[in-house]
């Protein structure tokens, strides 16, 4: 697994203080669309290694961070750049759509 595991406790140091852009996958075990997007997110983590940090945060185990960022539906993918939300995508998205968002973010 090339993805990091984010928690309420490490979110600031791992995501907000990251020197490179970060993709955070807000998910839960019981969420079918989350399971559908998981292999795509993992593939992107490998493909963009070194340029983009990719990780997941389980919304059932960590309620503070999703609440802080207004996550209401999952999966929600939030892209952070310089500690700020750069882009947010809700629901299952095809790989090409996510790649175009990442490429735009890395420009």
Show which residues are catalytic.
31, 34
Q: Where are the beta strands (DSSP E) in the chain?
A: 4-5, 22-27, 53-58, 76-81, 84-90
Question: Half-sphere exposure of residue 10, counting CA atoms within 13 Å on the CB side?
Answer: 11
Question: At CA 27, angle to CA 100 and CA 72, rounded to 5?
Answer: 90
Do strands 22-27 and 4-5 pair parallel, antiparallel, or not at all (unpaired)? unpaired
CB neighbour class for 87 (10 Å; exposed up to 12, middle 13-18, buried from 19): middle
């Amino acid at each position: 697994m090339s993805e990091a595991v984010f928690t309420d406790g490490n979110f600031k140091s791992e995501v907000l203080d990251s020197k490179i852009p970060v993709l955070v996958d807000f998910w839960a075990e019981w969420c079918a669309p989350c399971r559908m997007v998981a292999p795509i997110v993992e593939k992107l983590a490998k493909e963009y290694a070194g340029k983009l940090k990719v990780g997941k945060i389980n919304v059932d185990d960590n309620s503070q961070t999703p609440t802080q960022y207004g996550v209401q539906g999952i999966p929600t993918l939030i892209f952070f750049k310089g500690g700020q939300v750069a882009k947010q995508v809700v629901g299952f998205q095809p790989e090409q759509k996510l790649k175009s968002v990442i490429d735009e973010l890395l420009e």
